Structure formats: C-alpha cells, structure tokens
Amino acid sequence: MTTLPEIKAIYTDGACSGNPGPGGWGTVIYFADGQLQELGGHEAGTTNNRMEMQAAIAALQFLEHQDYIGPVELHTDSKYLIQGITQWLKGWKRKGWKTSAGKAVLNNDLCVVLDELTQRLANVQNIEIDWRYVKGHAGNVGNERCDQIARAYSHQQPIQLQQLKASASQLSAPPLANQADLDEVIIQNNDSISTQSHSAPDNGSASTLKRLSHILTRLQMADTLAEHGYLITSQELADLLDETADDIAQRGTQWTWRNWSVAQVGGHGADREFWQLERLETAS
C-alpha cells in the first residue's frame, strides 16, 4: 500500500449515450495539498445508473488499495446511488435482493460490490464514506469535471487524466504484482522442472523443457495475480500472454485466456489502463 496525502473530497459521475447504450464513468479524488487523481472507464452496453455506480466503485477500490485511514466525503449527482446505498440496501439484503414488490433488485451485482467495499473499508481501514448529493450541471467544479470524463469515455474520445504526482504509477488502481511474489513463482517453477529431469537431456529435450518452464512460469504468475487481486498494465498483460499490446487492444474489455477471465479495470491509455485476472471454475 502507498501512503496518501489527506483526501479533501471525492466526486463521481456517470454518463450514457442512450439508456441503455455506450457509457462512461469519471472519478476525481481531490487531495488537501492541491493534487488530483482522476479515473475513468468505458462500457459498450450499459445504463446511466450503472455508470454512476461504477464510478463510485472505482473510488472505493482506490481507497481500499491505499494506506489511508479516516472518513471520506463522496459527492455524486445520482440520488439513485445515494438512496440505494444509504436507505434501500439493508432492506434489499434482508429480502434476498428483492424489492418490496418481490422483484429482483436492478443492478444487484453492482449493489453487492458497493456493499462489500463499504463494509471492508469500514472494518479494515476505519474509512466511513459520507455520501453527499450534489446537483448536476450546476457549476460545481468536481461534478463538472467528472461529467466531462464520463462523457468522453462514453463516446470513446481521448481525454487527459491528471494523476497524483507522488506515485502516479501505483495510485490509479490497486497495486501491481510484488516482484518478490513473481520471483518466488519462477524459483518454484524452475525447481519443479529440475526435479523431473533425472538425466542430462539432449538438445531437443532441453529446448522442450525450456519452453515448458516458460509456459509454467507464465501460468503460475497468472495464478498469483488472480489470487492476490493484483492489477497489471496492458503492456504487462501483453508480456504475460506473450502477445503484443496491439493484440490486447483488439480483444475488447473482457475475455478468457486459458484458465482465467481477463477484464479491464479503470480507464484507457498506456499508463492508466489496468487489467485483472480471475481464475475460472473448473469441472470436478
């Protein structure tokens, strides 16, 4: 984790071109020392409410993966988001994620994520979220900037996001893989290969073992990344998959590679686009 400057306030917003339609979300974290941390993302087919929720989720995930303690103000122009998290959530959970009319709660997948994040922040880091409503399109600087980011991403237009200068590469998302973890995977993998070879292989066998060692290292690295919830950049993902960054860009925002689901987290751009791996269930 990385120690943050004092957080002054967080603003979030979502946008959608059509409802449903292509959407985007924007998050801005204001620090007391005047610095900013901006996040954004795109989803091809979604709704405005989901983008509002996703912007808040990104803010909470950012807090969870930094060394920060204390109350935080989160400002949003979505009454749906605020009422859902502060008023309706307990009743929905009590009824098994059903409304008072007995219907399934809309966007309950994101509701579950928001609920789990707020609970972990409160219990582990003593971070209480102060949910505050701000009127949209009324000249509030934070709200207007989030709206600008969200709209740009919804239309997949380029936009420059500001990053916290103290540690921009680490603070836009949860931490990247610890090199010590990956080194341990390589050592264990090489040890396992060597114990399986009891006699000196010929050149062809040596080449085969070398390729297998490389493959096993990549697969075990993928398991380490998934197990710890580490995020990696597009270039790091390309290196892991032994592909090019262009190959990764053409795959979309969520897909499957071998035994893992691969999903984009955060915004676009070489230094702000992160990916997360999740181990797929295998048949017993």
Please give the average per-residue pLDDT across 215-243, as a whole number.
Answer: 83
Please give the average per-residue pLDDT across 205-217, as a whole number.
Answer: 69
Question: Which pair of tokens denotes residue 64?
Answer: 């969870």
- Choosing from 6, 67, 102, 137, the catalytic residue is 137
The CA distance from 4 to 59, in Å, is: 14
Above pLDDT 90, what percent of the chain?
A: 47
The CA distance from 156 to 236, in Å, is: 23
- Our answer to whether residue 181 is catalytic in this structure is no
Q: Is the peptide bond before 20 cis (omega within 30 degrees of 0)?
A: yes
The more confidently predicted of residues 267 and 115 is 115
> How does pLDDT run across 20-75, given as a tens digit for each residue?
899 999 999 999 999 999 999 999 999 999 999 999 999 999 999 888 888 999 99
The CA distance from 77 to 279, in Å, is: 36
Please give the average per-residue pLDDT across 131-158, as a whole number.
Answer: 94
CA–CA distances in Å: residue 86 to residues 92, 131, 172, 175: 12, 8, 26, 29
Please give the average per-residue pLDDT across 197-221, as a whole number.
Answer: 64
- Our answer to whether residue 243 is catalytic in this structure is no
Which pLDDT value is given to residue 79? 96
Please check the confidence at residue 200 and state whether its pLDDT lies above 50: no
The CA distance from 258 to 188, in Å, is: 21
Please check the confidence at residue 173 and state whether its pLDDT lies above 60: no
The CA distance from 118 to 163, in Å, is: 24
Look up tokens 């502060």; give the residue.
86
Closest CA to 178 of 65, 83, 74: 65
Contacts of 140 (CB under 8 A, 6+ apart): 11, 75, 134
- Choosing from 147, 267, 268, 273, the catalytic residue is 147
Burial class of residue 116 in the structure, from the number of CB atoms within 10 Å of its CB (0-12 exposed, 13-18 middle, 19+ buried): exposed
- Choosing from 38, 43, 64, 77, the catalytic residue is 77
Mean pLDDT for the chain overall = 81
- Our answer to whether residue 137 is catalytic in this structure is yes
- Choosing from 26, 40, 43, 52, the catalytic residue is 52
> How does pLDDT run across 97-129, given as a tens digit for each residue?
988 888 899 999 999 999 999 999 999 999 999
Which pLDDT value is given to residue 280? 81
What is the value of pTM for the model shown? 0.60
Which pLDDT value is given to residue 22? 94
Domains of the chain, with CATH numbers?
7-170 (3.30.420.10), 179-279 (no CATH)
- Choosing from 14, 24, 84, 267, the catalytic residue is 14
Which pLDDT value is given to residue 112? 94
The CA distance from 50 to 61, in Å, is: 16
The more confidently predicted of residues 280 and 148 is 148
- Our answer to whether residue 13 is catalytic in this structure is yes
Please give the average per-residue pLDDT across 241-247, as a whole number.
Answer: 79
Whether the Cβ atoms of residue 37 and residue 63 lie closer than 8 Å to each other: no
